[in-house]
Structure 1
Amino acid sequence: MGKVTKAVGVAGAVAGAMYLSKSENREKVKRQLAKINGKEDSSYLKNLGKPSDIEDANMVNEGAMTSVQYYNRLQDEKSESK
């Protein structure tokens, strides 16, 4: 049983190293870890929308759905105009 456990551990470590070799995957993992720890990365909030919309992003984070509904309506209007 010890050899199988070691083989699975090594395979997992190699797979994790291969996944994290891409910078975009490392950023995804960092954002997820920040969410788990209850910390929001300011660059992550900036990527949600324009930097002027950070207040809206904070409201959504706190549970307000008004800005989400507003954003969805704007997206629907954009897609209908195309």
Structure 2
Amino acid sequence: MIMMKWVASAAVVSIITTGSYYISKEKNRKQVYDKWNRLKAKVNNKTNEHHVDYLSEKIGHSDPHDIDDNTMVDEGATYAVNYYNKEIRQ
């Protein structure tokens, strides 16, 4: 029984030490934080679309009078055409 307690304690200490070492770097800490938030959102069944009604209305329905949206679409189309033309010239 004492041996099992010792093994369990050693395992817990090893996990805590390894986890602490892993999150000591900024990049790894950010990854863990992002994955934790995604897991919480998945468990709670919440995404950004549930919080922003404006996105639900706007998706797939381009308004001809929305200048910012039209400019973004125009720039995206222009980028693709310029990329294609550049590849053809080479």
Give the TM-score normalised by structure 2. Answer: 0.44
Structure number with greater CO (CA < 8 Å, separation at least 6) is 1
Q: Which has the larger radius of gyration?
A: 2
Provide TM-score, normalisation by structure 1.
0.47
